[in-house]
Amino acid sequence: TLCRAEGPRRWLVAGLLVAGGLSALLGFYQFFTRTGPPSFAIGPFLRAYGTFGQPNPYGGYLAMALGPALGLALFWPAASDRWRWGSRLAAGLMGTALGLSLSRGALLGVAVGGLVVALLAGRTTRWLALGGLAMTGVALLLGLGGLLPPVVAGRLAQVVAYFGVFDPRTVPLTPENWAVVERMAHWWAALEMFATAPLFGVGPGQYTVLYPLFRVPGWEDPLGHAHNIYLHMLAEQGVFGLTLYLLMVGSWWLLAWRTWRRGATAFDRALALGVLGSLTAVLVHNLFDNLHVHGMNVHQGLLVGLLAGCRGSEDRG
According to the model, what pLDDT value does residue 160 have? Answer: 64
Q: What is the pLDDT of residue 168?
A: 85
pLDDT tens-digit map of 297-310: 999 999 999 998 88
**pLDDT > 80? residue 70:** yes
Query: Is residue 201 in some structural domain?
Result: no
- Tell me which of 234 and 125 has the higher pLDDT: 234
Q: How far apart are CA 267 and CA 162, in angstroms?
A: 38
Torsion of CA 152, 282, 164, 234, to 10 degrees: 170
Give the model's confidence band at 69: pLDDT under 50 very low, under 70 low, under 90 confident, else very high: very high
The CA–CA distances, whole Å, from 225 to 49, 62, 294 equal 19, 21, 13
Give me the pLDDT at residue 151, please.
54
Residue 163 clears pLDDT 70, i.e. is over it: no
Per-residue DSSP letter, 228:
S
pLDDT for 26 equals: 98
164 vs 251, higher pLDDT? 251
Q: The pTM is what?
A: 0.88
For residue 109, the one-letter residue type is G
Mean pLDDT of the region 27-54: 94
Residue 268 has pLDDT above 50, yes or no: yes
Instruction: Please state, in angstroms and rounded to a whole number, the distance separating the CA atoms of residues 276 and 259.
Output: 10
- Within-domain flag for 76: yes
Q: Answer whether residue 198 is part of any domain.
A: no
234 — pLDDT class (breaks 50, 70, 90): very high
Task: Kindly state whether residue 302 falls inside one of the protein's structural domains.
Answer: yes
Mean pLDDT of the chain, nearest integer: 88
As a whole-number percent, the residues of the chain with pLDDT over 70 amount to: 88
Instruction: Report residue 157's pLDDT band, with 50, 70 and 90 as the boundaries.
Output: low
Q: Is residue 58 part of a domain?
A: yes
Is residue 307 in some structural domain?
yes
CB 65 within 8 A of CB 16: yes
Asked whether the predicted pLDDT for residue 316 surpasses 50, the reply is no
Res 76: pLDDT: 93
| pLDDT at position 147 | 64
User: pLDDT tens for residues 174-206?
Assistant: 877 788 889 999 999 999 999 999 999 999 999
Query: Which amino acid would we find at residue 272?
Result: A
pLDDT in tens, 126-138: 777 777 777 767 7
Name residues whose C-beta falls within 8 Å of residue 162's C-beta, 6 or more positions apart in sequence.
Answer: 104, 180
How many domains does the chain fold into?
1
Question: How confident is the model at residue 294, as a pLDDT?
Answer: 87
Rounded Cα gap, residues 202 and 200, in angstroms: 7
Per the domain annotation, does 47 fall within a domain?
yes
136: domain range?
2-140+241-316
pLDDT at 233 over 70: yes
Task: Pick the closest to residue 271 from 84, 68, 79, 95 (CA basis).
Answer: 68
The per-residue pLDDT for 317 is 46
Residue 151 belongs to some domain of the structure: no
DSSP conformational letter for 216 = P
